[in-house]
Amino acid sequence: MRRTGGLGTVAYYWIAAAVVILDQWTKWLVVRYMRLGESIPIIDNVLYITSHRNRGAAWGMLEGQFWLFYLITVIVVAAIVIYIRRLKPSERLAGVGLGLMLGGAVGNFIDRVFRKEVVDFIHTHIGTYSFPVFNVADSALTVGVILLFVHMFFFATPEKGNE
Check 23, 44, 111, 138 and give the catalytic one.
138
pTM: 0.87
Structure confidence at residue 108 (pLDDT): 95
Structure confidence at residue 57 (pLDDT): 62
**Cβ proximity of 107 and 20 under 8 Å:** yes
Structure confidence at residue 8 (pLDDT): 74
Written as tens digits, the pLDDT of the chain (163 aa) is 445 545 578 999 999 999 999 999 999 999 999 999 999 999 999 999 999 998 866 555 556 667 788 899 999 999 999 999 999 999 999 999 999 999 999 999 999 999 999 999 999 999 899 999 999 999 999 999 999 999 999 987 776 655 4
Which DSSP letter does residue 123 get? E
Check 23, 44, 111, 120 and give the catalytic one.
120
**Catalytic residue list contains 138:** yes
